[in-house]
């Protein structure tokens, strides 16, 4: 990564705030802002988090569900321990093996979170398609685990396939909103899909 990128990151308000408040990534504020608006994480809730490295969202989810709640985080990368109410699972959440482990660890939950990004190729159409594949995988896991009335929050890259996916969400959830939290960089094409009131 270039020196310009590093300089920009050090000037970034949320990067500095995360360092000061001991969050593992600036992305923690995206989840805090989304939850402040939509209120989908509550004390005692069970949460599956897909693509959890480096653990910024995991920290926030762990704090918000409290000691009576539980979080299961999944990522291909190793993630440092977060808290007593968090179980970390290393693997590919699109694989059958990981899906089976999730069923064992948390058969039901109130919330599925996915802040996963595809490996960026630099070809927009490819990156958008890969992002939507991750959204489809997150929806599949949500359908397998969410309790009635539950919530799926997933990141997506804007593009021509997004509209159809939002339409699909609306057939399964009573409330669907496309949101871009303030902590998302303005030049970023990412948005977050907040799908609530799951129709089990």
Q: How many CB atoms sit inside 10 A of residue 188's CB?
A: 10
CATH number reported for the structural domain that contains residue 149 in this entry: 3.40.50.150
Q: What is the model's pLDDT at position 124?
A: 83
Work out the percent of the chain whose per-residue pLDDT is above 70: 94
**With contact defined as beta carbons under 8 Å apart, do 72 and 108 qualify?**
no
Q: How far apart are CA 102 and CA 81, in angstroms?
A: 18
User: Would you say residue 69 has pLDDT above 60?
Assistant: yes
Residue-wise pLDDT tens digits, 83-136: 999 999 999 999 999 999 999 999 999 999 999 988 888 888 899 999 999 999
pTM, to two decimals: 0.91
> Is 110 part of a structural domain of the chain?
yes
Q: What is the model's pLDDT at position 174?
A: 98
Q: How far apart are CA 111 and CA 41, in angstroms?
A: 7
User: Would you say residue 175 has pLDDT above 90?
Assistant: yes
Q: Return the SS3 of 138.
A: helix
User: Would you say residue 82 has pLDDT above 60?
Assistant: yes
- Which of left, alpha, beta for 106 (phi over 0: left; psi -120 to 50: alpha)? beta
Domain of 140, in residue numbers:
25-198
> Is 193 part of a structural domain of the chain?
yes
> Is 13 part of a structural domain of the chain?
no
Query: Which residues are the active-site residues?
Result: 155
How many domains does the chain contain in total?
Answer: 1
Residue-wise pLDDT tens digits, 6-62: 455 545 787 888 888 888 888 999 999 999 999 999 999 999 999 999 999 999 999
Q: What is the mean pLDDT of residues 145-158?
A: 97
> Is 14 part of a structural domain of the chain?
no
CA-based nearest residue to 139, from 159, 119, 168, 105: 168
């Amino acid at each position: 990564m270039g020196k310009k990128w590093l300089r920009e990151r050090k000037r970034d308000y949320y990067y500095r705030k995360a360092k000061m408040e001991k969050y593992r990534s600036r992305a923690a504020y995206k989840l805090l802002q989304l939850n402040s608006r939509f209120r989908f994480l509550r004390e005692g809730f069970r949460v599956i988090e897909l693509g959890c490295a480096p653990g910024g969202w995991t920290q926030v989810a762990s704090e918000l569900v409290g000691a009576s709640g539980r979080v299961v985080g999944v990522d291909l990368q190793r993630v440092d321990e977060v808290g007593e109410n968090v179980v970390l699972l290393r693997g590919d959440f699109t694989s059958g093996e990981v899906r089976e482990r999730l069923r064992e660890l948390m058969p039901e939950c109130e919330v599925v979170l996915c802040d996963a990004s595809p490996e960026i190729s630099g070809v927009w159409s490819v990156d958008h398609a890969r992002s939507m594949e991750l959204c489809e995988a997150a929806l599949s896991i949500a359908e397998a685990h969410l309790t009635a009335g539950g919530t799926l929050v997933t990141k997506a890259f804007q593009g021509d396939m997004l509209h159809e996916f939002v339409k699909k969400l609306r057939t399964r959830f009573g409330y669907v909103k496309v949101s871009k939290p303030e902590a998302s960089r303005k030049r970023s094409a990412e948005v977050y899909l907040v799908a609530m009131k799951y129709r089990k």
